[in-house]
Every structure is written in structure tokens, then in C-alpha cells.
Amino acid sequence: MKKKLIVTVLFLTLLFVSATPVHAIQLPLELSRSRVSYYRAENISLVSFHANLRVRTGFTSVNTQMVIRNDGLSEVDLLIGIPSQMDSVVTVKQISVVIEGNAQRLTNRRSVQNPEFPDIFLPPVWSTFPIKLAPGESKVIESAYTIDNKIEELGQQTIFFPLSFLKFWEIPIKYLQIVADLDFYPPYVFEPNPSLLPMKYEGGGRLLWQLTDVKDPQDLTIHFTPVEVCVANYLNREAGNNNEIKNIVTLFQRKDYDTAVDAITSYLTDNPDAELKTELEFVKALCHLALYQPGMALDILDRIENSPVFSDQLSNTVRNKMIYDKAFLLGLKGNEEEVLEYLKQVQPSLKNNIIFSNWVGEEINRLSPPPAVEEPPEPPSEPEQTEPEEEKKTDTSKTIQYVQIFGYDVPVEFLFIGILALIIIIYIIRSRRKRKRNRYLF
């Protein structure tokens, strides 16, 4: 009885943790009788806000950098806080704050509800630090902390980041950037869609939001489904008292893929009409993928791709993973045209995941051959005009008016006269010699 009570309390505690959103962000606070409450910081502008969310299974590490500026005419003493405890269970861990290279000393303070904001959730405990701003002065505040992810029954996870709380600063925010790093998760895991669609999805599981002149910041909620974790949890739940299936799941979770493949093959041979047959085939395909056995994995995906698989909670995400993996496996064969035709075929059926749909569209554009560029027709060639014979002669004569001799241009006429004179001189000389010879003979 005592053991059952402990298990029940533990389950309710975990359920409570998973259901509690974590409102962790830097806010201006008002201090009254050692208690803090929300405070609207007039004339203190939030110039820019950067947040890097490093999302891992079960938790998210947050690093932020914000620039605030005193737009007033007098010096301001300001108290800033980060929630350090959400309730009796959930806490924001490992909080640190650095200003101008100096680590700030944090003071934990309990909160009291501000009657001006009765409907806004107020965490019971805050980590606070003071800051002083001269008129026109700006400060860069860096902070780091860890928050828990909300975890659903099958392992789906949700990250909540309360950007709407930034309204307590003077707005608009000139520049707002959020980067969510999800540890190389492919685009099919982001279902349902984020509450704010990212500017882009970068390879390696990174989502990027960049906004300017933000007048009405909205809370950011990111959902993602770690497929391998959720599939294992689903099979354990549906297996009931079937120890064979539970053993297969254990082998899969331990990454003993060879043994898991053998166990699935043996089980389906003995139970060809098993209720979880398609689900087990999918796990078998995942094992072949992990062992880099592309041909075996592709054969299974071809066989089960259009079969109903898993419940509504996972079916669409699992199908998108099949599409993603199949495109990868077809690409290994080196035939990009086959990948292109496959993605074009499945594209109209995609739903509930804009990030994945956009990825498929980008792949189609990347693989599509560039459109053929039509060369402009060549203009018809004009018929050659025959020049008069005299013009030809004139042109020809112009080209031979001078002959270059020893670097000098000599007119053709002079050259002709010179040659003629030389011939005459040679003739005269030869004639005289001939007469002399004849005179001596007689």
C-alpha cells in the first residue's frame, strides 16, 4: 500500500511538472516591504533582446543578452528579476547575471500580486539584482539559466518562452532575435507548428526568429517530437502485458539493434497478424537505418509508408519521418531525379507542419533542373553589297601605295622607277663590256 502511494505521488508530481509553463525572463520589478511585484518601467527602453535556447531532452539552457537605455532626464535605480521558483516543484536553475564583465550578486525575494495586473501569473520567488542608469545611459545585461521542458505522455516536449512579459519595458523593441538550437533534430519533429513561425529553419535543428520594431511581443511556444523516444513509449503503453514487445523496446532503447531486428523478425513470424505489426516494422526500419543498412530500411519503408501507423498523436510526425528518411535513402542511390519525383508526389499530402512542408519545397527547388534559357533569335543577315569594280581597284591601290624598306616607307612609284633605272644601268654596263671585248678580238 505504501509503495503504491509513493508511486502515485511521484506520478502526480511529474504530471504537475509537465503541465506548468516556465515564465523565465528578465523583468523590471517594484520592491515594497521586501516583496516584489510587476512594475512597468517608464522611460526605460528595451533597445534589443537576444535569446539562445539550447533545447535538450527534458530541459532547455537559456542565454540572453539585452540592452536597456534610460530615456528619462534623471538617474534611475532599477530592480530587475528572473523567476527562480514557479511553484512548490518547478524551479529555474543555475541563474547567473553579468553586467559589464562583472557577475551580479542575486537576492531571492518573494512576490506579492500587483493590483494593477491581477490576471497575470506571478511566480512566488524571484532572483533579483539592482542596476543604476544615468540619463541617456545604456547597459548590456547578460544572463543564463536552465528551465524544464513540458513533457507530454508519449515524450513530446514543449518549450515556453514568455516574450509577452517584455511589455513591462518601454517598447517598441528595436531588435528581437531568438535562436532555438534543437540538437540536430530534422524538420519533421516540429509538430504542432510553433506559435510564432520562424524566419527560417537552418540545417542542424536551428530555428531563427528576427523581428524589428516589436510593439506587441507574443509568447513563443515550440513543440517537438523526438520520434525514437515517443515510439518506444507508445509501444510500451500499447503492449500491455506482452513481454515480447516490451523486450523489443528495451533492446531498441539500448541500441542493441541487431538483436532487436532478430527479435522483431521472430515475433512477426510467429504472429503475422499482430496488432502492432506496422509499428514493429517501423522500429525494424529504424534499426536498419542506425546500422547503415539502407537497402533493408528502404524495403520496409516502401512496404509500410501508406499503412496507418501509430495513433493520431504520432501518425503524422512518423509519416513525415518516413518521407524524410526515404528521400535520404533514395539520394544514396545517386538518382536525384527519383528523389525529386518522390517529393513532388508526396508534397500535396503534407499537413500540420509548415517547417517540414517548407523543407520539402526547398528540396524540390534545389533538385529541379534550372529552366532552359531561350536564346534570342539571330537577326537575319544582310546580303553582302557588291562594290563597284573601280572602288575595289581604288581600295587595292591604296593598300599598296608604300613599301617598307629598311624601316622607311618608300612610294611604289619611286621603287618602280629605281628598279627600271637599275635595269637600264645594268644593260648599259653589259653593252660597253661587250664592245670592248669585240675590239680586242679584231
Q: Select from 172, 192, 224 the last residue of a domain.
A: 224
Q: Select from 198, 224, 250 the last residue of a domain.
A: 224
Res 329 pLDDT > 60: yes
The better pLDDT of the pair 330, 32 is held by: 330
CATH of the domain at 266: 1.25.40.10
Same domain, 190 and 330: no
Mean pLDDT of 95-101: 96
Same domain, 298 and 220: no
Does residue 352 lie in a domain region?
yes
Integer-rounded Cα Rg, in Å, for the chain is: 42
Using CA atoms, how far apart are residues 249 and 260, in angstroms rounded to an integer? 8
| Paired strand residues for 111 | 36
What digits encode the pLDDT tens for the residues 340-371?
Answer: 999 999 999 999 999 999 999 999 999 999 88
Same domain, 35 and 173: yes
Mean pLDDT of 243-267: 98
How many Å from the N-terminal Cα to the C-terminal Cα in the chain?
167
CATH of the domain at 190: 2.60.40.3680
What digits encode the pLDDT tens for the residues 233-248?
Answer: 999 999 999 999 999 9
Same domain, 143 and 51: yes
Instruction: Work out the percent of the chain whose per-residue pLDDT is above 70.
Output: 83
Does residue 58 lie in a domain region?
yes
The reply to whether omega before 198 is within 30° of 0 (cis) is: no
Q: How many domains does the chain have?
A: 2
What DSSP line would sit under 255-306, residue for residue? T-HHHHHHHHHHHHHH-TT-TTHHHHHHHHHHHHHHTT-HHHHHHHHHHHTT
Does residue 402 lie in a domain region?
no
Q: Which amino acid is at 259?
A: T
Same domain, 252 and 213: no
Same domain, 278 and 333: yes
Inter-axis angle of helices 277-290 and 227-239, nearest 10: 140
Same domain, 197 and 252: no
CA dist 316 → 157, 185, 190, 238, 313 (Å) = 16, 16, 11, 18, 8
Region of residue 228 (left: phi > 0; alpha: psi -120 to 50; beta: else): alpha
Q: Length of the chain, please?
A: 442
Same domain, 158 and 253: no
pLDDT classification of 10: cutoffs 50, 70, 90: very low
Residue 441 pLDDT: 39
Contact predicate 250/288, CB 8 Å: no
Same domain, 198 and 314: no
Using CA atoms, how far apart are residues 143 and 92, in angstroms rounded to an integer? 12
Q: Which residue range forms the structural domain that includes residue 284?
A: 227-367
CA dist 241 → 172, 238, 253 (Å) = 58, 9, 19
Residue 386 pLDDT: 54
Res 430 pLDDT > 90: no
Does residue 424 lie in a domain region?
no
Q: Which of 90-99, 265-274, 381-390 has the lowest mean pLDDT?
A: 381-390
Same domain, 46 and 156: yes
Using CA atoms, how far apart are residues 214 and 218, in angstroms rounded to an integer? 9
Query: What pTM was computed for the model?
Result: 0.76
Res 394 pLDDT > 60: no
| Residue indicated by cell numbers 529541379 | 368
Using CA atoms, how far apart are residues 411 and 402, in angstroms rounded to an integer? 4
* Cell numbers describing residue 120: 497575470
Residue 25 pLDDT: 86
Does residue 234 lie in a domain region?
yes
Res 4 pLDDT > 70: no
Residue 436 pLDDT: 53
Q: Select from 208, 224, 240 the last residue of a domain.
A: 224
Same domain, 239 and 203: no
Does residue 399 lie in a domain region?
no
Using CA atoms, how far apart are residues 166 and 26, in angstroms rounded to an integer? 8
Same domain, 200 and 240: no
Dihedral angle sign, alpha carbons of residues 408, 411, 416, 421: negative
Does residue 35 lie in a domain region?
yes
Using CA atoms, how far apart are residues 224 and 159, in angstroms rounded to an integer? 9
Does residue 118 lie in a domain region?
yes
Q: Which of 157-171, 268-282, 380-394 has the lowest mean pLDDT?
A: 380-394
Q: Which of 245-249, 334-338, 438-442 has the lowest mean pLDDT?
A: 438-442
